[in-house]
Homo-oligomer: A and B are copies of this chain.
Amino acid sequence: MSDRAAEIRKLAELAVRFGANVQRGQVVAVGGELGQEPLVRAIARSAYEHGAKFVDVTYNDLYVKRERLLHADEDTLEYVPPWYGQRVLAIGEHHCARIGLSGMAQPHALDGVDPIRAGRDQLPFLAEAAQVVNQRTTNWCAIAGPSPGWAELVFADVEPREAESRLWDQILHVLRLDEDDPVAVWKRRADTLTGVARRLTENRLDALHFEGPGTDLVVGLLPSSSWMAARFETVDGVVHMPNLPSEEVFTTPDPARVEGHVRSTKPRELNGTIIRGLRVKFEGGRAVEVDADENGDALASSVQRDAGAGRLGEVALVDGEGRIGPLDTIFYDTLLDENAASHIAFGSAYKFTVDDEADRARANESAIHVDVMIGAPDVAVTGVTGDGRRVPVLVEGRWRI
């Protein structure tokens, strides 16, 4: 039988000491959802033991959001109190550490809610958080946080206790916490991915071509788009792992040059609803048709939120060697599901993956950032250079570059 308290502590230690790499004297902002309390408290403990000055915890309660979506006046649903963004900017100004727990701890909170109304309320996502990421002032980590609610969603066909046990087993596996020295294993994996990123950047690709069942999509890149993976470094030189697990290599696309059509390869949770069988058609960089087998309205509403919401802010590649893909589990959680497959993201771009200032000004801006998984072993990815040369990048889940 597993010792849950020990597992919680292991995960918390990984988040604090390796993921966010909390420094002595730092304030640590921790965000969790109700249902993740034991993990949040273990992270607080680990942070204080490691010399944190203060741990600033915020709990998100989707059942409060539900009341808003059901009962608030239609024209107030996009309102965000100014102090929400100001807090995030202050956390940036104070060079804090940030740890966020992913995983749908309250998976049924928004059941039956109108997806169009849900799409208008982007909270807890804040545009200022993307701004702080771009300024590289905070060492941060988003890490998968198991909870009873999430376990029941992912393993709906077994008893709640068995479901929770299976979720913990899989999360410990994908987080490499079943290894003797998880940090050493993570460092090797990060070395591989940053190597691929370096070679992709050196090839100075003009576009990526995705080809597979239901997908024929060309994503243009900016002349100085550079590829990144796994490890970030703050302006203060603190190295951290923004995502745990992290299996992707990503860059910033040209928001004006995306053409063709694409079919999602994984379900996608958005504002509490699950979008399945998504199909998007692009013209001139913009999503002109959004359709899905289920809940396409949620994304259709989100991509109309502002001028940049229907254009791409990220393109990411994932190989078959990560630990998530082989599990063949649908986690209904972007952090995990996106790391199982290559993906594109609607909305705000990371500007630090664009080297040239003029190009950086062209990177997409939006109040949203919504990843959609489009990769699979049967989706080939080919790079296209400015002079039309085709460079195989990812074939049957293996790097060819």
Give residues in A with beta carbon < 8 Å to B.
27, 34, 37, 40-41, 44-45, 48-49, 51-59, 61, 63-64, 66-68, 70-73, 76, 79-84, 86-87, 90-91, 94
Task: Chain B residues near A55: list those with CB within 8 A.
Answer: 64, 67-68
- Interface residues of chain A: helix, strand, loop or mixed (majority): helix
Shortest C-beta distance, A64 to chain B (Å), equals 5
Q: Which 8 A-B pairs have the closest CB atoms?
A: A48-B71, A83-B90, A45-B67, A44-B67, A59-B59, A83-B87, A48-B72, A44-B64
Task: Chain B residues near A48: list those with CB within 8 A.
Answer: 67-68, 70-72
Give Cα A70 to B41, complex, Å: 12
Q: Is A71 in contact with B90, judged by CB distance below 8 angstroms?
A: no
Number of copies of this chain that the complex holds: 2
Give Cα A73 to B53, complex, Å: 7
Query: Could you write out 30 A-B pairs with CB less than 8 Å apart?
Result: A27-B81, A34-B37, A37-B61, A37-B63, A40-B61, A40-B64, A41-B63, A41-B67, A48-B67, A48-B68, A48-B72, A49-B71, A51-B73, A52-B72, A53-B72, A53-B76, A54-B80, A55-B64, A55-B68, A56-B84, A57-B61, A58-B58, A81-B90, A81-B94, A82-B90, A83-B83, A83-B86, A83-B87, A83-B91, A86-B90
Give Cα A53 to B87, complex, Å: 20
Task: Chain B residues near A71: list those with CB within 8 A.
Answer: 45, 48-49
Smallest CB-CB separation from A89: which chain B residue? B83
Give Cα A197 to B56, complex, Å: 41
Smallest CB-CB separation from A82: which chain B residue? B90
Shortest C-beta distance, A47 to chain B (Å), equals 8
Task: Chain B residues near A90: list those with CB within 8 A.
Answer: 81-83, 86
Task: Chain B residues near A73: list those with CB within 8 A.
Answer: 51, 53
Shortest C-beta distance, A28 to chain B (Å), equals 10
Task: Chain B residues near A83: list those with CB within 8 A.
Answer: 83, 86-87, 90-91
Give Cα A47 to B71, complex, Å: 9
Task: Chain B residues near A79: list those with CB within 8 A.
Answer: 53-54
Give Cα A56 to B67, complex, Å: 12
Task: Chain B residues near A67: list those with CB within 8 A.
Answer: 41, 44-45, 48, 55
Task: Chain B residues near A70: list those with CB within 8 A.
Answer: 45, 48
Shortest C-beta distance, A15 to chain B (Å), equals 14
Contact of A76 (CB < 8 Å), options: B44, B54, B61, B76: B54
Task: Chain B residues near A84: list those with CB within 8 A.
Answer: 56
Task: Chain B residues near A68: list those with CB within 8 A.
Answer: 44, 48, 54-55
- Interface centre among A40, A41, A80, by most chain B C-beta atoms within 10 angstroms, is A41
Shortest C-beta distance, A207 to chain B (Å), equals 42
Task: Chain B residues near A94: list those with CB within 8 A.
Answer: 81-82
Task: Chain B residues near A64: list those with CB within 8 A.
Answer: 40-41, 44, 55, 57
Shortest C-beta distance, A74 to chain B (Å), equals 12
Contact of A61 (CB < 8 Å), options: B54, B59, B66, B82: B59
Give Cα A105 to B44, complex, Å: 20
